[in-house]
Amino acid sequence: MSLAIDAIARIVDGDLIGPASSSQIEFLLFDSRQLKFPQRTLFFAIEGVRQDGHDFIPDLYAAGVTAFMVSKKIDSQGLPDAVFIEVDDVIHALQLLAESHRAHFDMPVIGITGSNGKTIVKEWLVQLLAPWFYIVKTPKSYNSQIGVPFSVWQLNDDCELAIFEAGISRPGEMVNLEKIIKPTLGIFTNIGSAHDEGFIDRAQKIREKCQLFKRCELVVVCLDHEEVFDALRRAGIPTYTWSRKNRNADLYLKVDTASQNTMFNYRTSIEQGVLSIPFKDPGSIENACHCMAVLSVLGEKIDSYSVVFKHLSPIEMRLDVREGVNGCIVVNDAYSADIESLSAALSFAKYQTNQRQKTIILTDFLQQSQPLDQLYARVARLLIEHAFNRVIGIGSEIQKIASFLPDEVERIFYKSVDELVVAVDSTMFQDELILIKGARSFALEQIAQLLSRKRHRTVLEINLAALARNLKTFESLLNGGTKIMAMVKAAAYGSGSTEIARFLASRNIDYLAVAYPDEGIELRKSGIQLPIMVLNVDASQVDLLQTYDLEPEVYSVPQLKSMVNFSWQADLPLNVHLKLETGMNRLGFIEEDIAEIGDLLRNSNHLEVVSLFSHLAASELAEEDDFSRRQIERFDRFADLLEALIPYRPLRHILNSHGIVRHPYAQYDMVRLGIGMYGIGIPELGSLERVHTLKSTVSQLKDVYPGDTIGYGRMERVKSPMRLAIVGVGYADGLIRKAGNRRYAVVLNGMRSEIVGNICMDMIMVDVTNLPDIVVGMSVTIFGKWPTVEALAKAADTIPYEVFTNLSERIKRIYTYD
477, 521: one domain: yes
**What is the pLDDT at residue 748?**
93
- For this structure, is 489 an active site residue? yes
344, 389: one domain: yes
Are 42 and 67 in contact by the 8 Å Cβ rule? The answer is: yes
738-797 residue pLDDT tens: 999 999 999 998 889 999 999 999 999 999 999 877 888 899 999 999 999 999 999 999
In a domain, 338, yes or no: yes
Are 197 and 369 in contact by the 8 Å Cβ rule? The answer is: yes
8-34 residue pLDDT tens: 999 999 999 998 777 899 999 988 766
In a domain, 685, yes or no: no
- Distance between CA 344 and CA 577 in Å, rounded? 39
**What is the pLDDT at residue 249?**
97
- Distance between CA 451 and CA 446 in Å, rounded? 9
- CA quadruple 33, 35, 38, 43: dihedral sign: negative
Q: Show Cβ contacts of residue 319 under 8 Å, excluding neighbours closer than 6 positions.
A: 331, 332, 333, 344, 345, 348, 816, 817
Q: In one letter, which amino acid is 527? A: G
Give the containing element (helix H, strand E) for 808: none
**What is the pLDDT at residue 345?**
81
172 by DSSP, 3-state: which? coil
643 by DSSP, 3-state: which? helix
Are 228 and 116 in contact by the 8 Å Cβ rule? The answer is: no
- Label residues 228-265 b or e (16+ Cβ within 10 Å = b): bbebbeeeebebbbbbbeeeebbbbbebeeeebbbebe
Phi–psi pair at 791, nearest 5 degrees:
-65, -40
51 by DSSP, 3-state: which? coil
Q: In one letter, which amino acid is 113? A: T
15, 151: one domain: no
304, 345: one domain: no
Q: In one letter, which amino acid is 669? A: D
Domain boundary among 637, 653, 678: 678
Q: Which domain holds residue 645?
A: 462-678
Are 8 and 22 in contact by the 8 Å Cβ rule? The answer is: no
In a domain, 95, yes or no: no
Task: Report strand pairing: 745-748 vs 722-727.
Answer: unpaired
418-453 residue pLDDT tens: 899 888 876 789 889 999 998 767 888 889 888 887
User: Long-range contacts: 759-762, Cβ < 8 Å, 24+?
Assistant: 759/730, 759/731, 759/735, 760/711, 760/712, 760/730, 760/731, 761/730, 761/731, 761/732, 762/728, 762/729, 762/730, 762/732, 762/733
387-426 residue pLDDT tens: 999 999 999 999 999 999 999 999 999 999 989 988 887 6
Share of the chain above pLDDT 90, in %: 67
DSSP class of residue 452 equals B
490, 625: one domain: yes
Q: Is the pLDDT of residue 542 over 70?
A: yes
Mean pLDDT across the stretch 147-169?
A: 92
DSSP class of residue 453 equals P
Cα 128 → chain centroid: 18
Share of the chain above pLDDT 70, in %: 95
**What is the pLDDT at residue 370?**
61
Task: Report strand pairing: 319-323 vs 329-333.
Answer: antiparallel
**What is the pLDDT at residue 604?**
85
Q: Is the pLDDT of residue 318 over 70?
A: no
How many CA atoms lie less than 13 Å away from 765 in the CB half-sphere?
21
Give the containing element (helix H, strand E) for 240: strand 239-243
Q: Show Cβ contacts of residue 230 under 8 Å, excluding neighbours closer than 6 positions.
A: none
Report the domain count for the chain: 5
- Distance between CA 156 and CA 83 in Å, rounded? 25
CATH number at residue 204: 3.40.1190.10
558, 586: one domain: yes
Catalogue the E-assigned strands of 175-225.
Answer: 185-188, 218-222
In a domain, 387, yes or no: yes
- Distance between CA 98 and CA 42 in Å, rounded? 13
Domain boundary among 654, 678, 702: 678
Are 763 and 727 in contact by the 8 Å Cβ rule? The answer is: yes
- CA quadruple 47, 146, 141, 191: dihedral sign: positive
- Label residues 123-158 b or e (16+ Cβ within 10 Å = b): bbbbbbbbeebebbbbeebbbbbbbbbbbbbbbeee
Q: Is the pLDDT of residue 292 over 70?
A: yes
Of 122, 205, 489, 785, which residue is the catalytic one?
Answer: 489
- For this structure, is 695 an active site residue? no
Q: How many CB atoms lie within 10 A of CB 474?
A: 19
**What is the pLDDT at residue 49?**
53
In a domain, 553, yes or no: yes
Report the chain's terminal Cα–Cα distance, integer Å. 38
634, 668: one domain: yes
Domain boundary among 650, 678, 706: 678
**What is the pLDDT at residue 282?**
82
**What is the pLDDT at residue 355?**
66
Mean pLDDT across the stretch 220-248?
A: 96
- Distance between CA 229 and CA 652 in Å, rounded? 61
Q: How many residues does the chain have?
A: 818
- Distance between CA 652 and CA 634 in Å, rounded? 13
250-279 residue pLDDT tens: 999 999 987 778 999 999 999 999 999 988
| Range with lowest mean pLDDT among 185-194, 525-534, 664-673 | 185-194
Q: Of 133 and 359, which is predicted with more confidence? A: 359
205 by DSSP, 3-state: which? helix
697, 670: one domain: no
**What is the pLDDT at residue 141?**
66
**What is the pLDDT at residue 339?**
73
**What is the pLDDT at residue 455?**
58
Task: Report strand pairing: 41-44 vs 251-256.
Answer: unpaired
CATH number at residue 56: 3.40.1390.10
Nearest CA to 12 out of 79, 103, 98 is that of 98
136, 261: one domain: yes
In a domain, 100, yes or no: no
HEC states along 308-352? HHHCCCCCCCCEEEEEEHHHCEEEEECCCCCHHHHHHHHHHHCCC
Mean pLDDT across the stretch 547-551?
A: 93
Task: Report strand pairing: 764-767 vs 722-727.
Answer: antiparallel
Confidence class of residue 725 from pLDDT cuts 50, 70 and 90?
very high
CATH number at residue 696: 2.40.37.10
- Distance between CA 699 and CA 527 in Å, rounded? 39
Helix, strand, coil shares of the chain, percent, nearest 5, are 35, 25, 40
Q: Is the pTM of this model over 0.75?
A: no
Q: What is the dihedral of CA 649, 650, 652, 657, to 10 degrees?
A: 150
Q: Is the pLDDT of residue 347 over 80?
A: no
In a domain, 94, yes or no: no
Instruction: Kindly write down the DSSP assignment for every residue of 669-732, as one continuous string.
Output: TEEEESGGGGT-S-TT-TT----EEEEEEEEEEEEE-TT-EESGGG-EE--S-EEEEEES--GG
Q: Of 344 and 525, which is predicted with more confidence? A: 525
Q: How many CB atoms lie within 10 A of CB 451?
A: 22
Beta bridge partner(s), residue 362 = 393, 437
DSSP class of residue 454 equals P
Alpha-carbon distances of 627 from 290, 578, 585, 791, rounded to whole Å: 51, 22, 13, 29
243, 163: one domain: yes
Mean pLDDT of the chain: 91
Nearest CA to 132 out of 313, 274, 289, 298 is that of 298
CA gyration radius, the chain? 31
- Distance between CA 730 and CA 253 in Å, rounded? 47
Nearest CA to 535 out of 550, 548, 525 is that of 550
**What is the pLDDT at residue 720?**
95
480-502 residue pLDDT tens: 889 999 999 988 888 888 889 98
Confidence class of residue 82 from pLDDT cuts 50, 70 and 90?
very high
565-624 residue pLDDT tens: 888 888 888 999 999 999 999 999 999 999 999 999 988 888 999 999 999 999 999 999
- Distance between CA 30 and CA 21 in Å, rounded? 21
128, 248: one domain: yes
Beta bridge partner(s), residue 768 = none
- Distance between CA 365 and CA 372 in Å, rounded? 9
Confidence class of residue 385 from pLDDT cuts 50, 70 and 90?
confident
In a domain, 714, yes or no: yes
DSSP class of residue 159 equals -
212, 278: one domain: yes
Nearest CA to 594 out of 651, 642, 652 is that of 642
**What is the pLDDT at residue 558?**
94
